[in-house]
Each structure stands twice: as C-alpha cells, then as structure tokens.
Chains A and B, each alone.
Chain A
C-alpha cells in the first residue's frame, strides 16, 4: 500500500492558484524530495498534507485512507508529522520539555511526565541537542530551533515525516550532520520522509526520487540523476547550479 497519494490536488486562495492538478505517490520507507523555485507551492502542499489547509480540488490519501477532512491534530494521530519552515519552538519551555510534549501527546500517548522526559533525553541525544536540554527554547539559536523542531516531530512517532527546509541556513558541517541524521531516521525506523529543500547536494544524496514543482504544477518526477539533467527543471530552477555542480 502506498504511504501517501496526492491525487489531482489543486488549491486556490481567493483567485491565486497555488497548486494545480498535482499528482504523485510516495512509497513506504522512501525519501522523496520536493523542490522548486520559491512560490512554487511546496509549503502549501505540506500544509495540505498536514491538514492546515483543505484542498480546493482533489484528494489526499494516506495509507489508503482519505484524510481530506481531518484536522491537523487528527492527522498527527494517524502518523503524519511535520516541521515548519519558520520553526515554532515553544519559547518559554526548555528544549527537553519541547520534545517531551511530543511524547506525551503524540502517538505514543505517554501519560507519565517523567517517562516522557526520559524518552526525550534519549531522543535529544540522538539528534544532538543533549547538552542544551535545559535551555529555554527562546535562548537557542536558529539551527538548534530546526533541530528541536525535528526532534519534536519525531517524538510523536510518525510514519510519515514532512520536513520543510530543515537545512536552510546551515553551514556545510551542520548540513552534513543533518543529512546523516535524516538518513538514520529513515533507515532505523523505516519512516517515510518528504523533504522540501533548496540545498541540492543534500537532496540529491538523500532522495530516492524527487518531485519538482513550478508555479503550482508538477513539472517532473524522477530519480535525482535524471532530475539534475532534466532540461525543464534546469530552465526553471536549477539554472546556474548545474554549472557549479
């Protein structure tokens, strides 16, 4: 069974067509990249999949179930977790507790606060934020916010993880760290990942396949090697990047 099916999805906002007839599928356990110029509709698509918007047309099927009418928290219960492009940490709460909430209310429904904190400790170790566990989220830097966002999403025990530009603004060392982290998440737990990214080198290495959006329409869907050489993709998005790569 396919993990996610996006079928003929369109979305307009009072006349602005953000997405038009987008179609693609994602198999369980695979990493799929989602790329395209700014304004192409990538985050809108995430919002549709995670339930923050409803499609104007079309359907979104998750593990065979049509989720179009489910609210975001209901989709989390089913196994969809997401990060936000601009991270939204719980500012006045410690990093540890930011993640602990995920365990308490995510799919594991842990009821004991201490147990949730224990699990959060282990998860922070995995994602590399352990030393900063007692810092208030508002006192952490931007990369740590992204990592915290990711950790919190993981804590809810998802089967499908939507990552929205988690590597934006990172230096090459951090980018590499995140890349390995994402690979481990995918390998160790068989979590399906859909990732929006502008860092092409990273997305090429991570993805089993890449979907390309432009002005709300899907213009290509293929393995990374073919995408990089796709004329239309190069024209609308990759452009100069191919020369550097």
Chain B
C-alpha cells in the first residue's frame, strides 16, 4: 500500500492531461453541439509542432506551448470557418458534423504518417531532476507540466466567466438564437471557440512532449479517454471536464493496480456507462 501515494500522484498527473483535452472538447460541444472527433489529432499536431520547435529551432520545451497555442488557435479557426460552419445549417443529420471531424482526423493522421512515418520520436530534457514532496518522489518536469496545466485551466475558467468574450461564448452555448438576438455574432463565436478547443488540445500535446513519445497515432490513445471525461463531467461543462479528467486519471491508475493493466480499460468504460445511465435516470426522476 505504500505505492498508493505514488499511484495517486500519477493518476492526478495523467488525469490533468485528460482534463485539458476534455475541456477543449467540451467548449466545442457546449457551443456548437459538435462532438469533435479530431481532438486527438489536434493534440498530435500540437505535439509535433512542439517537437519541431524544440529540435529544429532549439526552443525550450516549456516555452513551446506559447507558440503552439497561437498556431492551433488559427488552425482551429480556419477549420471551423471553412468546413464546419457551412454545414451546420444544411441538410443531413446532426451527425454530418461528427463525420466531418472524423474525416479531418483521418486526414491529419495520414498526413502525419506520410510526413513523419510511424516512428516514435522523443526529446531529451536537460533537467530530469526530481524532488521530494511529503515523502514522495516527484519528477520535476512532470510537476512543471502539471502546474502549467493548472494555470491554463484557470486562465480558461477566468476567461469564460469574467471577460466579455467569454460571456458571449457562454451565452451562445446556452441559447444560440437568443445570443444572436442580442447582437452576438454566432459565426464568429464558433470560430473562436473551435480555435480555443484546438489550442487546448495542442497545448496538451506540447506539454506532453517531455514525457511521452510523439507518433502519428498518439491522438487515438487520448481521444477516447477524453470522450469519457467529457461525458462524465457533463457535455458542455468546463468544470466537469477538469475534475472528470483528474478522476479518470485516478480511476485508471488505481484500477490498473486492482485488476491489472490489461483490464483497466474495461473497468473505466463500464463505470463510465453506469455513471452515464445513473445520471440520466437521476435527472429524469427529478422531474
């Protein structure tokens, strides 16, 4: 049982990544009701971008998120503007958007495979030191990533609740028509929102780079988990995504200890489905 604290720390750490991706998914879903199936690939792009910034430009791996955020934001905005918004009002079903993002995910994955081959790449970090906290050994780089994640999450929260733009975004997510009626340009909001969602995914990727290897299919590893988080926390709820991610990380690491690493996925998914259903039933009982 003395590994428990370490397990918990790992859980929180990996969970924070899930949170970040999930928050991106959530903000996109909350505003546009689109389940973004290429969120994982956006993480991958951010990760590759960070990789090249470090290896080619010699940038400090912890500074890359600054550039990545901007790049991904622009990219996300373009995607929304050019591809998604135009079909939002057209025929087909609501699921056309899901498939558009599926197609995008496929596209990004394969461009990456083409350009970078399926090799795993990683970077070296100079300061692989660790320090001691409450008797547990914590690796400094991981800790720094975690702190940055917390900062980004807080900034997002602050942005959404206190700034004008943030309020406009929240308004649009609650009632698109009402938002338009009070003068909010919903198309603009969609672009910004998708940009933010992409930026969050890319940032998660950039922050992941110091400890994980980057390869074209890394998106898939995180995407399903992010979906689980998003649904657990409540589609559209940023706070829910934040805490849900941490909880999922913990569930995973603790679950791995209990049932073994190969079955932990099943535990996670089954708990997920149960929670979903209980919550729905609970909500309708309230009526």
Contacts and interface: CB of A to CB of B under 8 A. Distances in A.
Interface residues of B, number: 2
A84 interface: no
Interface in B105-141: none
A226 B121 CA distance: 85
Contacts of B287: 13, 53
- What is the predominant secondary structure among interface residues of chain A facing chain B? loop
Contacts of A13: 287
Contacts of A14: 286
Interface in A1-37: 13-14
Interface residues of A, number: 3
Contacts of A53: 287
A170 B20 CA distance: 51
Interface of A: 13-14, 53
Interface of B: 286-287
3 contacts: A13-B287, A14-B286, A53-B287
B87 to A, nearest CB: 18
A53 B286 CA distance: 11
Contacts of B286: 14
CB-based closest 3 A-B pairs = A14-B286, A13-B287, A53-B287
B108 to A, nearest CB: 33
B175 to A, nearest CB: 16
Nearest to A13: B287
Nearest to B286: A14
B286 to A, nearest CB: 6
Nearest to A92: B91
B281 to A, nearest CB: 14
A14 B286 CA distance: 7
A124 B287 CA distance: 37
A13 B285 CA distance: 10
A74 B286 CA distance: 22
A219 B259 CA distance: 63
A14 B284 CA distance: 11
Nearest to B91: A92
A14 B283 CA distance: 11
A9 B115 CA distance: 69
B101 to A, nearest CB: 24
A65 B287 CA distance: 24
A13 B287 CA distance: 6
A13 B284 CA distance: 11
A164 B187 CA distance: 35
B188 to A, nearest CB: 29
A13 B286 CA distance: 7
Nearest to A14: B286
B96 to A, nearest CB: 15
A117 to B, nearest CB: 26
B284 to A, nearest CB: 11
